[in-house]
């Protein structure tokens, strides 16, 4: 039985990466809240705290509601909610189109 051997070299490369030592307090708070095993909590879990914002006087009308929604969509978990709603709408549009093409009644 013949045996062949081929010499080879293993080269390793190590890159040391250093993360920032500090995180801004508001960013850290958001991260801790979102990674908490109890997120979301409280009676206002599904409204992102809108009831509290109204009760606190932060949302008092159409303009302040628009500002509040912008903040939730831009900086909070509302951004993920908006993405999920857009994907759901896209899916439903596709299903509706396919059902219409198949001649099903769409009532």
User: What DSSP string runs through the chain?
Assistant: --------------------S---HHHHHHHHHHH-TT-S-STTTTTTTHHHHHHHTS--SHHHHHHHHHHHHHHSTHHHHHHHHHHHHHHHHHHHHHHHHTT----
Lookup result for tokens 């439903």: 92
pLDDT score for 59? 95
The maximal CA–CA distance of the chain, rounded, in angstroms, is: 88
- Quote the pTM value: 0.41
pLDDT score for 9? 63
Residue 32 sits at the vertex; the CA angle it makes with 26 and 33, to the nearest 5 degrees, is 90
pLDDT score for 5? 63
Closest CA to 76 of 42, 32, 34: 34
CA distance 95 to 88: 10
pLDDT tens across the length of the chain (107 residues): 565 666 666 666 666 656 556 667 887 777 777 666 666 655 445 677 888 899 999 999 999 999 998 988 888 777 777 787 888 888 878 777 777 777 777 65
């Amino acid at each position: 039985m013949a045996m062949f051997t081929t010499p080879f070299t293993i080269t390793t490369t190590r890159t040391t990466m250093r993360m920032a030592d500090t995180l801004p307090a508001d960013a850290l708070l958001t991260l801790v809240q979102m990674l908490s095993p109890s997120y979301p909590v409280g009676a206002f879990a599904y409204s992102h705290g809108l009831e509290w914002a109204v009760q606190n006087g932060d949302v008092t009308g159409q303009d302040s509601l628009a500002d509040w929604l912008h903040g939730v969509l831009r900086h909070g978990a509302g951004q993920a909610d908006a993405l999920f709603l857009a994907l759901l709408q896209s899916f439903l549009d596709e299903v509706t189109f396919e059902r219409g093409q198949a001649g099903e009644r769409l009532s």
